[in-house]
Chain A
Amino acid sequence: MYKYDQYDQQIVDARVEEFRDQVRRRLAGQITEDQFKPLRLMNGLYLQLHAYMLRVAIPYGTLDSRQMRMLATIARKYDRGYGHFTTRQNIQYNWIKLSDAPDILADLATVEMHAIQTSGNCIRNISSDQYAGAAADEVADPRIWAELLRQWSTFHPEFSYLPRKFKIAVIGAEEDRAAMRLHDIGIQLLERDGVLGGRIYVGGGMGRTPMIAPEIKDFVTADDLLSYVEACLRVYNRYGRRDNIYKARIKILIHELGADEYRRQVEEEFAHVKSLGLDPPKAEFDRITAFFAPPAFSTDAPETIDRRDPDFAVWVDQNTAAHKQPGYAIVTISLKPTGGIPGDATAEQIDLMADLAERYSFDELRVTHAQNIVLPHVRKADLYAIWQALDGAGLAPANLDLISDIIACPGLDYCSLANARSIPVAQKIATRFADQNRQRDLGELKLKISGCINACGHHHAGHIGILGVDKKGTENYQLLLGGSGAEDTSLAKITGPGFDEDGIVDAVETVTNVYLAKRAEGERFLDTYRRVGMEPFKEALYG
């Protein structure tokens, strides 16, 4: 994985000291909160319901054991012993003191981490496929491009004050594991006639106005990719609305201009940008690429797995994926124990995952947008030892992509923007469906819960989505069906009137029963919904 050079380290270190001085001046009363707020947000520090919240960037969700251990150290030293992995592949700490924030950032900088561009109207942390570099269906490693985009976007002077925040995802496979078309820009790497390039989608997003990004360019050669993205941003920066926060995202601009007109303007801008020599020289690109060379895989790792322990066998079937290297597997560690808080991990669990990565996965971990952790390169012969260690720490739920593998935002338990609590609903649903056989019989079923219309819990992309709203001062939950963040991207539709907290759990059970009654051979919940439509579900829910 990428390692900082002296320039990377210098700018991060300098930023820490700059923020330390800003905090000092705020605490001394030399600057007001109105002056300070944008400065702290530029360093990932929010003021939430109970305390300051720090969001730490994990570039494209990739980190090593040293960095992971630092996340545990911060949880232990400055917070309350845990962290929350987010749908943006980052981590958040909920109980931070302003006076500690500079020291935390200094600690992060010692392991090449920071909280820059995790807030504000800038290009946010680039997201990517958690299986990058390991997936069997990959044409190119998207982390190389994500890293290039990270370097390009860091402190980019032209794009530090965009009309609104801006999210980019890069994938390198046909299977979309990053909800790529629900980003402001989604890039899918592909080969055409032996030439590597990218298909560019622009103007997707969730939030209050969900949209699937239209294809803006079917193929841009790798040599032109950065210039093309710059052109996309420039058109947005020039014409994106700044008068109305609810209409400021690029999806609104493209919707109003039309994809054809936006494309025309981007092409015009691209012709100019290309002349500026923005794309990296080959030596620099090769330097970045070298950091993502495949690890030294054993060429004779055995394929067989001893499956005599039945619980282990279920976990292998559910939580491991095919690796491009024979004898290896990709392991997903579920942070979704029955009745637990989706995405939360204690300092001890974080340390354990770091230890396992160091010992068994070439020192690499990934954070997924579904709030789980991946060990990307594991010998099949080591799976049982890993499972035993995880099981002893409450980290072995065998529920990847099942109904209890729920994405949930922090909701009203932590977030000042939320209208309703998300976590208790997730806990009740996971408990209702705790039976392993029942979950597996339901098969792949992606359930996603947001506590407000901002959709941090990706409810628009849930096979089953739940949106918490405020109904005359009480929590109410709308049910949505038919969303997908995968390569068959679709937006979920609301079934009808909402439910109270217990009612929404019953409603979820009702729609799963409709699915079980109507499914055809081999159909997932989403497939059945698409075939039979909304009506049978509405009939069962509302009569």
Chain B
Amino acid sequence: MKLLTGNDLPTGDVLWWTGSSWSRHVEDAADVGDQGESIARAEEGARRVNGAYVIDATATPEGPRPAHIKDRVRALGPTVRPDLTLKPADPAAGSWVI
């Protein structure tokens, strides 16, 4: 599957395209098929996202899992600071990245 990701313009937060809007959680991401580039252009033009790009991912029962470790780090947060990730209460969350 293909996911569309980018950053929120004013905050820089990592965003994922859900099919109709943007979420900070990769679990909400939708398969954009071959529409990623056109969605990215439209959303960047509307300043709802910055630096959007398409990535490969795998569908899993827990939700989409980006194919590359870099995007998994983006999705979760720094593996060396669990307290600063999106799942600070889950000390095992880092294993999803690796």
Contacts and interface: CB of A to CB of B under 8 A. Distances in A.
Nearest to A97: B11
Given A412-B73, A413-B73, A424-B79, A473 B11 contact: no
B7 A47 contact: yes
A29 interface: yes
A29 B47 contact: yes
B70 A427 contact: no
Nearest to B71: A49
B98 to A, nearest CB: 8
B73 A97 contact: no
Contact of A49 (B11, B67, B70): B70
Contact of B11 (A33, A80, A98, A416): A98
B57 to A, nearest CB: 13
A416 B14 CA distance: 12
B10 A50 contact: no
B79 A27 contact: no
A125 to B, nearest CB: 23
Contacts of B81: 341, 413
A198 B84 CA distance: 47
Contact of A97 (B12, B14, B50, B67): B12
B77 A50 contact: yes
Contacts of B12: 47, 50-52, 96-98
Contacts, number: 65
B36 interface: no
B74 A50 contact: yes
Interface in A411-442: 412-414, 416, 418, 421, 423-424, 427
Nearest to B94: A424
Nearest to A420: B69
Contacts of B78: 50, 94, 413-414
A26 B7 CA distance: 14
B68 interface: yes
Interface string A57-100: 00000000000000000000000100000000000001111110
A475 interface: yes
B44 interface: yes
Interface residues of A, number: 29
Nearest to A27: B10
Interface in B29-76: 44, 47, 50-51, 67-70, 73-74
Given A341-B80, A427-B80, A99 B10 contact: yes
B13 interface: yes
Contacts of B50: 33, 47
Nearest to A80: B84
A475 B69 contact: yes
A94 B84 CA distance: 11
A414 B73 CA distance: 8
Interface in B77-98: 77-81, 84
Contacts of A418: 70
- Interface centre among B9, B44, B74, B77, by most A CB within 10 Å? B9
Contacts of B68: 473
A474 interface: yes
Interface string A22-59: 00001101000100000000000001011110000000
Given A33-B50, A98-B10, A424 B80 contact: yes
Contacts of A95: 84
Nearest to A339: B80
A75 B51 CA distance: 26
B55 to A, nearest CB: 12
Contacts of B14: 49-50
Contacts of A52: 12
A84 to B, nearest CB: 11
Given A27-B10, A96-B12, A424-B80, A412 B51 contact: no
Nearest to B50: A33
Nearest to A98: B10
Contacts of B67: 473
B5 to A, nearest CB: 11
Contacts of A98: 9-12
Nearest to B76: A50
A520 B60 CA distance: 57
Contacts of B70: 49, 412, 416, 418
A51 B69 contact: no
A235 to B, nearest CB: 37
Nearest to A427: B80
Contacts of B44: 33
Contacts of B73: 49, 412-413, 421
A49 B74 contact: yes
A95 B74 CA distance: 13
B51 A47 contact: yes
A413 B51 contact: no
A97 B67 CA distance: 28
A418 B11 CA distance: 22
A29 B9 CA distance: 10
Given A33-B44, A98-B9, 10 more contacts: A27-B9, A27-B10, A47-B12, A50-B74, A50-B78, A98-B10, A341-B80, A413-B81, A423-B80, A474-B69
The 4 A-B pairs with the shortest beta carbon distances in the complex, nearest first, are A51-B12, A413-B78, A52-B12, A99-B10
Interface of B: 7, 9-14, 44, 47, 50-51, 67-70, 73-74, 77-81, 84
19 contacts: A26-B9, A27-B10, A33-B44, A33-B50, A49-B70, A49-B73, A50-B77, A50-B78, A51-B13, A52-B12, A80-B84, A98-B12, A99-B11, A341-B81, A413-B81, A416-B70, A424-B79, A473-B67, A473-B68
Interface of A: 26-27, 29, 33, 47, 49-52, 80, 94-99, 341, 412-414, 416, 418, 421, 423-424, 427, 473-475
